[in-house]
Chain A
Amino acid sequence: MQLSLFWLVAMIACAIFVDVLRPFPITQMNLGTRLAPPGTPGHWLGTDELGRDVLSRLIQSVRSSLVIAFGATLLSAFFGTLLGFMAAKFRGVVEHVVVMLADFQAALPFLIMSLAVLAFFGSSMPLLVCLMGFYGWERYARITRGLAISANAQGYAAAVVQLGATPSRVYLRHILPNVASTLIVSMTLTFPEIILMESSLSFLGLGVQPPDTSLGNMVGFGREYLTTAPWIMLSPATVIVLTTLAISLAGDWLRDRLDPTLDSIS
């Protein structure tokens, strides 16, 4: 648990202090030391096929991937929750539309749609974040709609309404904190998926564009050297695995801490 928090803090620190931490500019090439293995003095994680320092590129990649993944997760959680609450509040036509959109989203091959959008509009960071933000919102919408409806039907929310609370108070002060633990778990599931999705897009050449770099982009370009210089690909892959794992663990921990009914267990 502490390890995963430590890792996340380290990753976020990496993302913020990129410019200080990075030993070399990410585009600085040095053909004399290309494909240097890890442990080479000055290039602790080795260099890639153009002699660029893998460590520097890795640190830069963490920033772009985290920005995309955090931005997109928050965006999809926000819209999903909003739509779910709207469906629960207004029922009727609004609910039908939201549920239909959610079904549509779930049935959509998201990767192919992203490819189309990115191919059409060209890739840029804000567009990538927004596009990834569309990923997974239907899960939040379904969860919040279901939980809010059941709370409204007979539970605490109905009781608070009967106390005279305004809808905004009911939803923000009572229902949202009660569904937050479920939402957080859902976020920790979407977060790794978005990192992987961004990796796939970058791998296909439609995500983050060179010379800028992201974790997926590094994996994609390192693939060709998998047999001769595996470190180019393995180091970003390791970071992806560790970060997603850490997020999942931290999410579990956070959910337990946020729930007063679980106090007695821990």
Chain B
Amino acid sequence: MSPLLEARELVRIYETRRGLLGRSAEVRAVDGVSLRLRRGETLGVVGESGSGKSTLGRMLLGIDAAQHGTVCIDGATMPNPGTGDWRALRARIQMIYQDPLAALDRRLSVAQQLREPLDIHRIGDVESRTQRIRDMMQSVGLRLDQTDKFPHELSGGQRQRVVIARALMTEPELLVCDEPVSALDVSIQAQVVNLLADLQRDRRLGMVFISHDLKVVRNLCDRVAVMYLGRIVEEGPADTIFVDPQHPYTQALVSSVPQPGRALDSRIILQGEPPNPGNRPPGCAFHPRCH
């Protein structure tokens, strides 16, 4: 059986220009990334800011077309953005956003937000849609008296629940979460992560979880891919990566996660800034910072 999601050699290059007459430089935001995701599996993508995680997430969903390489959903190649096939496929692959307030139309009530995917994909009649909205609100932990609330009347955690509920309305098979908890309070983060974990298990979702929060990734993910400057430097089962990291960059990341009973002075503190992606060091891009 073909994997739910398969990406081969994805490349995304942005052109930047320095100054008025400067020569344009290529920034390889994603540079030859391949990965596979089985049904019901959770893949964590970690890396520091600017490592290309979010761009990768958008490419996996087909929002940004890959300049080289292919994305296959269930063995079928991703259609071009904006086509009817591409829109129809949205019912099967969905996204959770970092900032739930920006992702919700502030003029629509919770019920209207949740009805959108059903209206768009013409699922069910009026009555079954209403029922489905109620069911979904309960399963993401929203109260039914919040149906007529607007996004600005909800708390951050509740908004993210609405975003999650909206994404799940069409019963997708693949969910890409782009830093879904990094805009939330720490006290709320755990709730939302647990909710995602429960939903993922109950619905056998394939999930790509993009985050820079290693604690969350460790709790949630079966496999982890570590990105640095647009490339995956290490990939493997979560336990292996966190217990026995091989790549020095992964070692530095893992050592930064506080653990009970271990002094913080064993942290590896990386020297310097990540290199300019427009001017990538030859060989392993990490070598100038390698200890």
Q: Which residues of A contact B97 (CB under 8 A)?
A: 159
CB distance from B113 to the nearest CB of A (A): 9
Q: Which of B102, B116, B163 sits near A165, CB closer than 8 Å?
A: B116
Contact B87 A159 (CB under 8 A): no
Question: Taking the complex as formed, is B196 at the interface, i.e. its CB lies under 8 A from any CB of chain A?
Answer: no
How many positions in chain B have a CB within 8 Å of any CB in the partner chain? 26
A109 within 8 Å of B (CB atoms): no
Query: Are B116 and A155 touching (Cβ within 8 A)?
Result: no
Asked whether, in the complex, the Cβ of A261 is within 8 Å of the Cβ of B150, the reply is yes
A257 at interface, CB cutoff 8 A: no
Residues of chain A at interface, number, CB under 8 A: 20
Q: How far does the alpha carbon of A4 sit from the alpha carbon of B105 in the complex, in Å?
A: 32
Q: Of all chain A residues, which has the CB nearest B99?
A: A154
B-side contacts of A154, CB under 8 Å: 99, 102
Q: Determine whether A210 belongs to the interface, using a CB cutoff of 8 Å to chain B.
A: no
Please report the C-alpha to C-alpha distance between residue A257 and residue B150 in the assembled complex, in whole angstroms: 15
State A206–B90 Cα separation when bound (angstroms): 57
B-side contacts of A155, CB under 8 Å: 102-103
Cβ of A177 within 8 Å of any chain B Cβ, yes or no, is yes
- Residues B107 and A166 in contact, CB atoms below 8 Å apart: no
Chain A residues near B89 (CB, 8 Å)? Answer: 164
Chain B 73-107 interface 0/1 with A at a Cβ cutoff of 8 Å (1 = within): 00000000010000111110011010100111111
Task: Tell me whether B105 and A261 are in contact (CB under 8 A).
Answer: no
Q: Which of A232-266 contact B (CB under 8 A)?
A: 259-261
8 Å CB contact of A178 from B88, B91, B106, B163: B106
A156/B90 in contact, CB under 8 A: no
Measured CB to CB, the residues of B under 8 A from A are: 61, 63, 82, 87-91, 94-95, 97, 99, 102-107, 116-117, 120-121, 150, 152, 163, 166
Q: Report, nearest first, the 6 A-B pairs whose CB atoms are least far apart.
A: A164-B90, A159-B103, A156-B105, A164-B87, A155-B102, A261-B152
Q: List 10 A-B contacts (CB under 8 A).
A: A156-B102, A156-B103, A158-B103, A159-B163, A162-B63, A163-B120, A164-B87, A165-B87, A165-B116, A166-B87
